[in-house]
């Protein structure tokens, strides 16, 4: 797997938090797979396909794992991407996965997982009572 320095993963966390310019920075600095990954998580099929076509099958597996596919999580572990499987689990609030990322000395990936967790929680809150405006 490609190595990601602290700056790249901080920019990735910024992208997830919808901070302006983060996606452009990632693309301009050779990390196109990270915005493509996040677009795929957001349901953009073209980005999911881009990941598979460009050698980032592990990120495609993460997309599937984040969408509840247990076999994708198992694939990540089987092929040596346990830290990415832990990111998926931590993004869903799994405390054991958070502890594993700390044990593996992966604070930058933990920050990515936290950004994902916050994003998913915010999205969940918006959708719980989103029945539309009954007064319009």
* pLDDT tens for each residue of 39-91: 999 999 999 999 999 999 999 999 999 999 999 999 999 999 999 999 999 99
Residue 133's pLDDT is 43
**Which has more confidence, 65 or 135?**
65
Question: pTM for this structure?
Answer: 0.88
Torsion angle defined by CA atoms of residues 109, 58, 37 and 50, in that order, rounded to the nearest 10 degrees: 160
**Which has more confidence, 52 or 130?**
52
Mean pLDDT of 94-111: 96
pLDDT at 5 over 90: yes
Mean pLDDT of 21-40: 98
Q: Which helix (H) or strand (E) holds 112?
A: helix 107-128
| Per-residue exposure over 102-134, b if at least 16 CB sit within 10 Å of its own CB, e if not | eeeebebbbbbbbbbbebbeeeeeeeeeeeeee
Mean pLDDT of 3-25: 97
Sign of dihedral through CA atoms 7, 19, 43, 89?
A: positive
Confidence category of residue 122, pLDDT binned at 50, 70, 90? confident
Contact 117, 91 (CB under 8 A): yes
Q: Which residues contact 34 (CB under 8 A, 6 or more apart)?
A: 4, 8, 11, 12, 15, 26
Residue 1's pLDDT is 81
């Amino acid at each position: 797997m490609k190595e990601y320095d602290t700056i790249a993963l901080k920019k990735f966390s910024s992208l997830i938090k919808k901070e302006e310019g983060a996606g452009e920075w990632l693309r301009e600095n050779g990390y196109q797979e990270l915005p493509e990954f996040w677009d795929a998580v957001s349901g953009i099929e073209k980005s999911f396909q881009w990941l598979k076509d460009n050698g980032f099958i592990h990120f495609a597996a993460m997309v599937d794992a984040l969408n509840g596919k247990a076999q994708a999580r198992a694939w990540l572990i089987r092929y040596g991407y346990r830290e990415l499987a832990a990111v998926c689990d931590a993004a869903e609030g799994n405390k054991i996965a958070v502890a594993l990322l700390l044990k593996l000395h992966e604070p930058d990936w933990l920050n990515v997982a936290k950004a994902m967790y916050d994003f998913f929680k915010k999205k969940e809150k918006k959708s719980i009572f989103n029945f539309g405006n009954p007064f319009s």
